[in-house]
């Protein structure tokens, strides 16, 4: 990284944040969790906009929950946000042996079998709070391509990019579909999380928690690359570390119906979320884009 590009005083707060992240990455896992929970509890009353978004999302996705139950899950979600600050620091700055010791691996053979067969691989995952660490964990044994959105802060974007590239990742921007297809064709697995609302363009409406939701259609398009499989990938925090789970490749996917494809991927992601709902990215306005005639959730 050419640091002289970032010597302007406006980057001083970012440099301070980077120093704290490097220090935080050295803390033991249990200390990170404990401090992270405290940070999350402090953020809960301060981040009113995000708190309201999370409340609306959870209330719509879990209509059977009472208001108290929804509020409780929102509070747990903010605790997970606090912990994610350390998880992100670990993703960028932790030593490999520290990350390795925290991982409990399940069904890795689904990925290795596909790679042995020279298949293209799309790792389908949801936006959980430890998602950056989940990407770093993949790099312990495999070369992968990270699909990422560049950060608005150029210094932090460079730190993020360098943190992954130094550990063997190829970084591909979310809008660079051509590079994604090239990576798949070249046998480089791509880590792909399509559960974001990017508007109606290139999306279709499909059910997600029984809500018609604007769903990125690119997953199916990428899966049409010859000899490509889609493998659900699940990475969540536990009491002692993290579980890293691969599921069997999707069969008969994609089909010719875009809505059917989107419905299937949404169902897989929904099943993942239900396993650890407190760790999901509920502060994203997932239901921002509504079908014509429907009022805004937010």
Among the ranges given (67-81, 181-195, 238-252), the one the predictor scored with the smallest mean pLDDT: 181-195
Query: Which uninterrupted H or E stretch holds 244?
Result: strand 242-246
Mean pLDDT of 97-112: 96
Provide the pLDDT confidence category of residue 225 given band limits of 50, 70 and 90.
Answer: very high
Residue 290 lies in a domain: no
Residue pair 159/6 in contact by the 8 Å Cβ criterion: no
pLDDT for 5 equals 76
Residue pair 225/120 in contact by the 8 Å Cβ criterion: yes
Q: Over 60: is that where the pLDDT of 15 sits?
A: yes
Q: Over 60: is that where the pLDDT of 47 sits?
A: yes
pLDDT for 177 equals 87
Residue 46 lies in a domain: no
Provide the pLDDT confidence category of residue 129 given band limits of 50, 70 and 90.
Answer: very high
| Contacts for 53 with CB less than 8 Å, ≥ 6 apart | 282, 283, 284, 285, 298
Mean pLDDT of 127-135: 95
Can you tell me the distance from the alpha carbon of 169 to that of 89, in angstroms, rounded to the nearest whole number? 17
Residue 12 lies in a domain: no
This prediction's pTM: 0.92
Residue 158 lies in a domain: yes
Can you tell me the distance from the alpha carbon of 19 to that of 24, in angstroms, rounded to the nearest whole number? 9
* Residue 212 CB neighbours (<10 A): 15
| Domains: count for the chain | 1
* Mean pLDDT over the full length of the chain: 93
* Residue 218 CB neighbours (<10 A): 18
pLDDT for 72 equals 98
Mean pLDDT of 228-246: 96
By DSSP bridging, strand 203-208 and strand 211-216 are antiparallel
Mean pLDDT of 136-150: 91
Can you tell me the distance from the alpha carbon of 164 to that of 155, in angstroms, rounded to the nearest whole number? 15
Q: Over 80: is that where the pLDDT of 252 sits?
A: yes
Provide the pLDDT confidence category of residue 3 given band limits of 50, 70 and 90.
Answer: low
Cis peptide, bond prior to residue 254, ω within 30 of zero: yes
| Contacts for 246 with CB less than 8 Å, ≥ 6 apart | 106, 107, 108, 109, 110, 111, 123, 231, 232, 233, 234
Residue 21 lies in a domain: no
Q: What percent of the chain has pLDDT over 70?
A: 99
pLDDT for 4 equals 58
Provide the β-strand partners of residue 235: 244
Residue 169 lies in a domain: yes
Residue pair 117/184 in contact by the 8 Å Cβ criterion: no
Q: Over 80: is that where the pLDDT of 106 sits?
A: yes
Residue 263 lies in a domain: yes
Residue 113 lies in a domain: yes
pLDDT for 147 equals 86
Q: φ and ψ at 203, to 5 degrees? A: -125, 160
CA dihedral 199, 204, 207, 208 (to 10 degrees): -40
By DSSP bridging, strand 211-216 and strand 170-173 are unpaired
Full domain range(s) for residue 114 = 96-279
CA dihedral 211, 215, 219, 222 (to 10 degrees): 150
pLDDT for 127 equals 94
Provide the pLDDT confidence category of residue 6 given band limits of 50, 70 and 90.
Answer: confident
Can you tell me the distance from the alpha carbon of 64 to that of 70, in angstroms, rounded to the nearest whole number? 10
């Amino acid at each position: 990284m050419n640091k002289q590009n970032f010597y302007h005083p406006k980057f001083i707060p970012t440099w301070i944040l980077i120093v704290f992240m490097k220090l935080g990455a050295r803390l033991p896992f249990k200390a990170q969790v404990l401090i992270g929970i405290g940070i999350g509890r402090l953020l809960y009353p301060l981040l009113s906009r995000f708190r309201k978004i999370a409340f609306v999302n959870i209330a719509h996705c879990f209509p059977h929950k009472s208001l108290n139950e929804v509020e409780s899950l929102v509070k747990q979600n903010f605790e997970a946000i606090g912990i994610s600050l350390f998880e992100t620091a670990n993703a960028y700055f932790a030593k490999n042996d520290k990350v390795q010791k925290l991982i409990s691996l399940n069904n890795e053979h689904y990925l290795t079998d596909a790679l042995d067969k020279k298949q293209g691989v799309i790792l389908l995952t949801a936006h959980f709070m430890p998602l950056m660490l989940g990407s770093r964990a993949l790099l312990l044994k495999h070369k992968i391509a990270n699909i990422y959105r560049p950060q608005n802060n150029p210094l932090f974007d460079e730190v993020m990019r360098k943190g992954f590239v130094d550990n063997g990742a190829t970084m591909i921007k979310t809008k660079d579909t051509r590079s994604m297809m090239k990576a798949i064709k070249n046998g480089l697995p791509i880590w792909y999380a399509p559960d974001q609302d990017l508007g109606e363009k290139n999306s279709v409406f499909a059910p997600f928690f029984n809500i018609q939701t604007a769903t990125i259609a690119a997953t199916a398009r990428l899966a049409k690359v010859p000899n490509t499989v889609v493998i659900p990938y699940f990475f969540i925090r536990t009491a002692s570390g993290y579980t890293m789970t691969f599921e069997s490749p999707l069969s008969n996917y994609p089909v010719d119906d875009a809505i059917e494809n989107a419905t299937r991927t949404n169902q897989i992601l929904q099943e993942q979320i239900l396993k650890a709902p407190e760790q999901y990215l509920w502060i994203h306005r997932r239901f921002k884009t509504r079908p014509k005639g429907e009022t805004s959730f937010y």
